Chains A and B, each alone.
Chain A
Amino acid sequence: MKRIVCAIAFMAALMGCDPTPVITNVDWIPTIDESALGDAPAPEIYKVTLTNIGTEEVVSRDFIKVAPEAFSLVPGIYNVTVQAHGSLNGRAYNYIGSVSSMSITGKEESYPAIKVMATASSALVFKEVHFNASKATGSATGNYLKDTYFEIYNNSEAVVYADGICLGDPLSSKVYDFSDKLENASDYVFIGTYVWQIPGSGTDYPIQPGESFIIAASAIDHSQVSESLDLSTAEFECICDKYKEKGGQPDANAINMTLICTIKESALAKQLGKFTDGAWVIFYPSVPLRKDGEYLESNHANNYCLEVLKSDVLDAFEYLKTENPDDKRLEPVLDAGWIKCELTGGNQSIVRKIASTRENGTIVLQDTNNTTEDFEVNAKPEIRRYGVGRPFWSTWTTAQ
């Protein structure tokens, strides 16, 4: 009997009496490396955002350099982003630095410093994007995929020109690797499908402060055939000879974009594809772009890309269909966040928030290089929201 009692006591001890798990948080103080700021003024306060890649929990707080306060974190692996905004001589700067997959478990002897870079805010920014298409009229399930568009806004106080600006969709920096194909591969973003370019001699398409222009997949009145909107007033449309051959797309009154790179031929059938999961950049190439057939093959066979210097990128945004930060394509230096979108056919748009209004009534849109903070989802797409101006050369305007 004694043995049985001993056995019971032993097993009870083995199983433990306290059912509550205990995890001790780790104190972490960010180390910020400002050596790459150049002429930009060093900010006093950074916003530090940590995303636990195991739980997807996001912790965000201001970090004051002169009075550093530790973050109390669950041990884990974190994507860390620091951001700040500043201005000098009337020029706005965005500061951003990031470290991916930083181990903060309390066992580390030291943590890597977060190198911050400063970039002047871009004059041209994405203002509104209709990304996930709509439903065909009278159909609960039939998706209508031709009504997507990008609205691009002059957020500065100077005239800029749209001529030569390119639009492309980057591949995931986490999945595709070109380090063995390209020197300084980390200086580039890699476009995976196609690149559309606005034609022009360099001064054909001026955009005044407070004006925007529309790049539509197809510049027709889509409201006739779907629960969508009229895009017949768009300035540009993505129609080219290849499209006409493949899809029989109507060539509307809008100026046709130039398809200068076809990296993935099969994607052409999808108009401006990537309806529920993608990233887009506008850039002005400072060096000639590769031609068709010359693209780099990634570490995944038969997946090619066009490299574009990150310094050429004017603006970028990203939308994901999941809330998993592992799915994010763009590096934080281009876009520190992402926005969650509904599935294809949702007829939604994302629109940039207004930061302020100038004395002359033009709006200044929020541009912190962080889609999560800068954009919000709209249930119904609308072009030229907030009453922004239309360029004088708009074909629709001149046609009236």
Chain B
Amino acid sequence: MKRILPITLLLLPLSLDAQEAIDGTGLALNEAVTLWANSTNAAGLAVSPYREFNVLSAQYSLQTGDYRRMQTGTRVGDLEFDTSGATQIGKVSVWGRFKYNNIDDRGASFNTLLYDPYDERFMYTAADAVPGQWKKQSYNMQFKAAMPLGETMAAGVHVNYTDRIAAGQIDPRAESYSYAVEARPGIVWRAGNSRFGLNGLYANTFERATPSISNTQEVQKVFLLKGLGNWVGEQVGSGGLSTMYFRCNTWGGALQYAYESDWSLLSELSYTTHSARITESATQPKPHGNTRRQELGLDVAALFGTHSHLNKLSLQVSDARTTGIEPTVLWNKESGEWEIQTQLEQCKFSTSDLTVSYDHYFKEADGYKWHLIGSLGTEIVHQSYATPYSELQYGLLCASAGAEYKFGIGKGSLLAGARLSGFKNLGDAHYEYNGHRTGTAPVDDLYPHNLSILSADRIGATLSAEYAFPVGKGLRLGFCGEGSGVVASCTDASSPASITLLHRLSLLAALRLYF
């Protein structure tokens, strides 16, 4: 933290001499029209640079309610500090961001070790059925820089660094430290109205989680998860589970094609492969499992319109496949190390998403008066375990629509928004387990519950408002509030006839400074 903060503060207030600060609508429009900024190729910033901006935000959000997966708390509070900005320094276009989150998560279970228990790459982790409490902090710093290389070419790089710590507060507890560093160098070259881009990706992710108990009289049982309800028994305390290490190397790249005339188009085809290994103990590493994850994505965005209207049509398609490989290990007394005797590819998880979205802006001055939003998408998830054969599957149709309107109030403005979203189960959502762990918590509680949450028919509504007003030359202050709720019709996977209505409420208050 001591090192990150000064660097960030140096980088982010990039344009203190800017004229009139843009407000939230200007910021959103800036994001929308800077097509290359939404790609993974930072070199694109030299082609379509951001308009200069700086924004500093402090917000607190609170989520409560029972519509949640087991690993999410019944009550989650998040204090966030977020600052970002973009400017031009000579020929170099730069963008930077620093974000800090302080999270208090209460009531989550089935996560003994990890900051993010939903990361499929680290599926071989420990879980316990005790509702716990987590204190989490995350620091994220990103930086993009791009500059032209001659008339037709530009180069850039995007560096993303995240540092996170988490501490469980109830036995069995853990202290987790993790980082992820990611670098994406890229180039863009021009041929007529067309531009082509190519970028690479390397990321290194590491998490170290040390489980412990405070009450040494009560050794805590945990499940070492294997996927879809399979597990082996372990304990925390009394010489049980020791420090776990989660490591992942990520490689990837993307190709971009853009067309620019009186309308613009940017398409990106990306491929990423992750190779993760999970071990216990640093001095006597015991393999717990490896995962491979491949992600294929296609993003297409088109901008068209007039001086006063802007349309953005987007298509996002993604497919992610995770393979879980389980080793059987034995301790070799002679060499003093754990040896892998056999490895089996037991898990195959796939997630496919498709989303089409449309944004329409009625522009005015630096921002917009109206913003209409609509999207339609699907999500298909299929997970299987080889033997004993087990399966989890669901599909969703998702739709959302919303609008924002900016009222002028004196020198200030009030941006009010409303959004409705709905998810419809496409049918055949099921969890089937055929192994010897029937009757245990992961099989009877964790997976059926999470499936009923993920596959539930549900509707959500969000109301938001931001009042922003100038507080000096080049400085604008915004007060923001947002409330959203979800009501879901959840089905018990083991008893399809029983339906329960669950809800989740989120409230957010923020203070934003635009300069």
Contact = CB atoms under 8 A, between A and B. Distances in A.
Interface stretch (B54-62, B68-76, B382-390, B444-452): B382-390
A177 B333 contact: yes
Main secondary structure of the interface of A (DSSP, over half): loop
B11 interface: no
B330 interface: yes
Interface stretch (A19-27, A208-216, A236-244): A19-27
B296 A21 contact: no
Interface in B256-275: 257, 269, 271
Contacts of A101: 330, 341
Interface string B301-335: 00000000000000000010101001111110100
A20 B233 contact: no
Interface in B422-473: 435-436
Contacts of A400: none
B203 to A, nearest CB: 19
B384 A20 contact: yes
B365 interface: no
B344 interface: yes
Contacts of B234: 322, 324
Contacts of A323: 232-233
Contact of A11 (B221, B271, B347): B271
Given A53-B328, A54-B328, A344-B217, A23 B232 contact: no
B277 interface: no
Contacts of A187: none
Contact of B382 (A19, A74, A321): A19
Interface string A288-326: 000000000001000000000000000000000111100
B271 A324 contact: no
B328 A77 contact: yes
A217 B234 CA distance: 30
Contacts of B350: 19
Interface in B321-367: 321, 323, 326-331, 333, 341-342, 344-350
B327 A54 contact: yes
B128 to A, nearest CB: 13
A4 B341 CA distance: 42
B384 A7 contact: no
A322 B328 contact: no
B296 A143 contact: no
A358 to B, nearest CB: 37
Nearest to A103: B341
Interface residues of A, number: 42
A324 B217 contact: no
A52 B326 CA distance: 13
Nearest to B215: A141
Contacts of B218: 343
A76 B328 contact: yes
Contact of B296 (A15, A77, A103): A15
B180 interface: no
Contacts of A20: 348, 384, 386
A20 B235 CA distance: 32
A16 interface: yes
B217 A4 contact: no
A314 B421 CA distance: 71
B255 interface: yes
Contacts of B230: 55
A16 B349 CA distance: 12
A75 B340 CA distance: 13
A321 B344 contact: no
Nearest to A340: B233
Contacts of B345: 21, 23
A151 B441 CA distance: 35
B344 A15 contact: no
Contact of B384 (A21, A56, A141, A174): A21
A136 to B, nearest CB: 12
Interface in A52-111: 52-58, 74-77, 101, 103, 105
Nearest to B230: A55
Interface string B218-259: 110100001000101111001010000000000000010100
B373 interface: no
Contact of B219 (A11, A22, A54, A276): A276
Interface string B282-304: 00000000000010101000000
Contacts of A56: 232-233
B342 A343 contact: no
Contact of B348 (A8, A11, A21, A276): A21
B387 A25 contact: yes
Interface centre among A55, A321, A322 (most CB of B within 10 A): A55
A12 B297 CA distance: 10
A74 B344 CA distance: 9
Given A55-B226, A101-B330, A15 B321 contact: yes
Nearest to B267: A4
A287 interface: no
6 contacts: A20-B386, A54-B328, A74-B344, A77-B341, A321-B219, A343-B218
Per CB-CB distance, the 10 closest pairs between chain A and chain B, nearest first, are A54-B328, A323-B233, A21-B386, A23-B386, A19-B350, A322-B233, A21-B348, A77-B328, A19-B348, A77-B341
Interface of A: 4, 7-8, 11-12, 14-16, 19-23, 25, 52-58, 74-77, 101, 103, 105, 141, 143, 174, 177, 276-277, 299, 321-324, 343-345
